[in-house]
Amino acid sequence: METTATHTIDGKPVDGVEFFDVINPATASVFARAPDASRAQLDLAVRAARRAFESWRAVPAEERRKILFGFASAIRAQQQGLAQLLTREQGKPLAAAIREIDGTAARIEGLAKFELTPETLRSDERGRVVLDYQPLGVVGAIAPWNSPLLLGVQVAAQALVAGNSVILKPSPFTPLATLKLGEIAGKTLPRGLFNTLSGGNELGRWMTEHEGIDKIGFVGSVATGKKVLASAAASNLKRVSLELGGNDAAIVLADADVDAIAPQLFWSAFVNSGQRCMAVKRVLVHESLLDRLGAALSRLANQVKVGDGLEPGVELGPIQNRPQFERVLGLIEDAVRRGGRALAGGAALDRPGYFIAPTVITGVAEGTPLVDEEQFGPVLPLLAFSDVDAAVSRANATRFGLGASVWSANPQRAADIARRLEAGTVWINSHGGSVPEIPFGGFKESGVGRGLGLMGIKSYAEVRVLHLPL
């Protein structure tokens, strides 16, 4: 069993005082142990990050960019080892893990190209008014378990570009690759700038309460995001950015080409075994296409290779952890009890690990938890509609608002419908994906603020208005 993982504090490896088990979801067995940070270790990390911040904030943007590009290169240099570790702890296929490592490096590079520069708001006989951006200080980044490196570094990179220092906490379900990333950071970034600590929910609470942390960037569930927001407000009113869950609707119009869109829709829903905040979570399809689309998606579900992510050719891995595995199975069973019909899948696979067969369900409607909640697993409900206006209303009738999409042979008509959807991102004839230069976030309970792009980086700075003489 591997027990070599360490925290990184002030650029140095720090052993755990206590440890917790890490489970391979493809086998449901413990394969490693990770260090469980103490409150004293968090205090050490905060002090180290504060010292590093005072130096980093004065580093010119171009020099920061070169340093961060060096960090990205160092990550790519260890891509294979990081990917193997990520697959073992998260479950995703090795090819997907390699893409995540590459995407993590690309996130750093893409965000590092931005620079916060002063903006002149007024310049006349009354004088000049200039808006400038000042870094906040120490940022606590709390990452989820579905794409732990990509999403943890996404928060951290925005903070670093804006001139802050970082303490990154991975999910206790997937701590190992992030801790290895901390080792890389310790060797390539200024000392104390990028600290990594692993631990459970208690460590997350300590971070949100800590008065030495100036902002929390959190990616995860709505329920936990609400707790983060409340805790941060109760301590030192620290700034908070939240990228939370979604219940993304895809609206398929009557003129859509089923054969052409079915593979895109399938992978938009099932990539990473459905464990993706921006995945398609429900499909509203015109009644004339329901049977054809259901058959096409079911064929794909039955053909896809599910298994251990380290096995050759595997396309979908397991659910990452037992609680989520049991939750998704419960949603499927509840939907079937309510009259739903599984066109494909519908049950766990008869093998070790947290595997659920890719599942397509019809005969369900709003009011069913599978439809109303975020399933975050390999199951997709199809719901028929006859009236487009009603479909838009149904798509919007949710507390979530992360993403949505419209599928049609008429892109202009689809665009008109897209403008009526209450979501942070709406796609036409595609669904999902984000890039460093374009802001991403959600309406309603799907988040607070926007990440990525210049807008995201600005959210990791304080805005100062300067009234200056002409």
What's the rounded Cα separation, in Å, for the pair 214 and 210?
9
DSSP codes, 101-167: HHHHHHHHHHHHT-----EEEEEETTEEEEEEEEE-SEEEEE--SSSHHHHHHHHHHHHHHTT-EEE
Query: In this structure, what DSSP letter does residue 347 have?
Result: S
Exposure of 340 by Cβ count < 10 A (0-12 exposed, 13-18 middle, 19+ buried)? buried
DSSP string, 348-406: B-SSSSS-B--EEEES--TTSHHHHS---SSEEEEEEES-HHHHHHHHH-SS--SEEEE
Report how far residue 102's alpha carbon sits from residue 83's, in angstroms, rounded to the nearest whole number. Answer: 10
Residue with tokens 């003129």: 255
DSSP conformational letter for 427: E
As given in the structure block, the two tokens for residue 174 are 């997937």
* 38 C-beta neighbours (distance < 10 Å), count: 18
Contact 75, 68 (CB under 8 A): no
Structure tokens at 432: 């999902």
Q: Report the distance separating Cα 348 and Cα 351, nearest Å.
A: 8
Which among 277, 315, 374, 445 is annotated as catalytic? 277
Known active-site residue 243: yes
Catalytic residue among 89, 100, 183, 243: 243
Closest CA to 277 of 89, 95, 440, 92: 440
Give the single-character DSSP code of 319: -
Distance CA 362, CA 310 (A): 33
Question: What residues contact residue 350 under an 8 Å CB cut-off, 6+ apart?
Answer: none
Strand, coil or helix: what is 455? helix
277 classed as catalytic: yes
Instruction: Give me the active site residues, please.
Output: 243, 277
